[in-house]
Amino acid sequence: MIKSRRNFLRTAGLLACGTALAACTITKSGNVTSVTLNVAKVDAYAQAAKNFASTILSVPLVTSALGSGPVAIIDGCVTGTVAAIDQFDAAANGAATVSYDTTSIKTAVNSIISDLQTVLAYGKQAVAGIESTAATADTLGKVNTAISAAETILSLMTALIVSVGSARAAPLPMSEAAALSVLGV
């Protein structure tokens, strides 16, 4: 059997989506589709998103490269993520799983996804801005590892919230366990 990069990426992407989708179930009864999410998974992913934003803000070279405007936006994303976690947990009401229709819980999860996308974009912008400065390889390595972990969490969260039919098989930079570990969850 010939191993190709394309074959590897396809297999990795399918495995990643399968892992994320294992955290949710989708059932259909007539015209009603119910999605049940694993509350602990969503909470872990949201906490990882918050920790990533905090990591970006904890690196002085990154905040300096971004400037006050983007740093304020990232701070707002942290606040928004915390609010979305609280909204999601209130809706879950202590349950291990929560079912939702397209107008309820999905909004909170989409808010976390949106905030994580914003912080990721700024994180990548900052890395590009400090690569040519006196940043140490260690600092760049830590920030890039955090970015890879956040990209993994973003892919997993997105796979959780989209329907099975529209989930994209995208390769993950690292495993779910490694990403959560890097982001302190």
What digits encode the pLDDT tens for the residues 38-52?
A: 788 888 888 999 999
Kindly report the pTM of this predicted structure.
Answer: 0.72
High-pLDDT (> 90) share of the chain, %: 15
81 and 115 Cβ atoms separated by less than 8 Å = yes
Q: Give the model's pLDDT for residue 149.
A: 92
Position 134 scores a pLDDT of: 62
24-28, 90-94, 129-133: which range is least confident on average? 24-28
Q: Is the dihedral of CA 163, 164, 165, 169 positive or negative?
A: positive
The Cα 40–Cα 38 span in angstroms is: 6
User: Which whole number is the average pLDDT over 164-183?
Assistant: 71
Q: Which residue has the higher pLDDT, 146 or 34?
A: 146
Q: Which residues contact 176 (CB under 8 A, 6 or more apart)?
A: 16, 19, 20, 152, 156
C-alpha closest to that of 143 among 68, 82, 64, 53: 53
- C-beta separation of 48 from 185 below 8 A: yes
pLDDT at 69: 93
pLDDT category at 135 given cuts 50, 70, 90 is low
DSSP β-bridge partners for residue 26: 35
